[in-house]
Amino acid sequence: MSLKRVVVTGIGAITPIGNTALDYWQGLLQGVSGADAITLFDATKFRTRFACEVKGFDPVAYLDRKEARKLDRFTQLAIVASDEAIQDAKIGAGMVDPDRTGVIFSSGIGGLVTFQEEVINYAKGDGTPRFNPFFIPKMILDIAAGQISMRHGFRGPNFAVVSACASSTHAIIEASHYIRLGKADVMVAGGSEAVISDSGVAGFNAMKALSERNDDPKTASRPFDKDRDGFVMGEGGGAIILEELEHALRRGARIYCEIAGGGATADAHHITAPHPEGLGALNVMRATLADAGMVPEDIDYINVHGTSTPLGDIAETKAILGVFGDHSYRLNISSTKSMTGHLLGAAGAVEAIACILSVVHNIVPPTINHHTPDPELDPNLNFTFAEAQRRPVRAALSNTFGFGGHNASVIVRKFA
């Protein structure tokens, strides 16, 4: 069958380096680090005492105070990002068919803070089960998609997909499928995460996954650096409006770029560690190129998963060399997690927005915090260290990999 073409007509973001998509993009180009001491809870006794928090976020600036209390922070962030994207795309009430407009919005963990607070309050009590009636609706991670649909009256496909740190990339891929198959005209896709909390930080500390560079948090996220010691936890949300091409043209929508294709694979190797040769990452990039009908030479920029972990950065680089061969040395590669930290389930959407704007503006955001070359990494690869680089960007590929061995990639390309 003939598949429909999918284009991007709106974007929205709230991140540790900017509370709108434009501010986020400017932060990336300026090489701003979003890392600082944790303020959301008392982290003085933790091995890691810093993170990339969203700055200056007051939910009542966006939501009714009573309504805001019924929502976990991850849902609040989802609403802010999606509201911006919906406004950007001009798909508000009466502008699109609500029965053919859907929402697939994800999170890796969901309402962890709500869960933590309710359990602590119960443990401190006399054993009488007194729980907030909104406990479950606040906690479940599909609630962000539901809240967005109810807020805007979108009655099309509505659900969440969960694949840890690959979640929102899978959301983009699944949303694009509905449009390609003619089952929807417009989809809101993305993800949000807000787990900078006692249990979130302690849990990742116990796995030895987080950087412990407490004396210099702004340089702690250092992908591809010899002295990287783990990722920096981030929070935020990203939303992308996907639209069937002819539908977008009929209504005179501004088109950012096209979703060329997406792919998904599994490492089938380990619960947290990547395949040492990057097999799952290699396979997902090949699958994504095939889905897009593209060849390696069509890609100019890869926004890598690049979490700043000792094993992950090496495995992903091996996969890139395996897929792109000699063209690897003509690519720009960068990890925007060096600035935003790792937004977990929201990472895919936020990083896809970086790819979209890179294609639009022909500029690649940098990888900051590189100090010491890693002898295990090919020095001839262009990791876009320190400063953004201008170049033609015909197409960009975004990689995300999650605990459990989940891999997802998506390609965005210039619309023509």
Residue range 173-195, pLDDT digits in tens = 999 999 999 999 999 999 999 99
Residue range 233-243, pLDDT digits in tens = 999 999 999 99
As to burial, measured by CB atoms within 10 angstroms (0-12 exposed, 13-18 middle, 19+ buried), residue 295 is exposed
As to burial, measured by CB atoms within 10 angstroms (0-12 exposed, 13-18 middle, 19+ buried), residue 203 is middle
> Is pLDDT of 1 > 80?
no
Tell me if 36 sits within 8 A of 217, measured CB to CB: yes
Overall pTM > 0.85 = yes
Tell me if 238 sits within 8 A of 220, measured CB to CB: no
Alpha-carbon dihedral of residues 373, 377, 381, 384, nearest 10 degrees?
Answer: -50
Q: Alpha-carbon distance 359 to 83, whole Å?
A: 23
Residue-level pLDDT at 94: 87
Residues making up the chain, counted from first to last: 416
Residue range 254-277, pLDDT digits in tens = 999 999 999 999 999 999 999 999
In Å, how far are 200, 343, 347 from 234, measured between CA atoms? 11, 4, 9
Query: 353: how many CB neighbours lie within 10 A of its CB?
Result: 30
List residues with catalytic annotation: 165, 305, 342
Pairing of β 257-266 and β 406-413: antiparallel
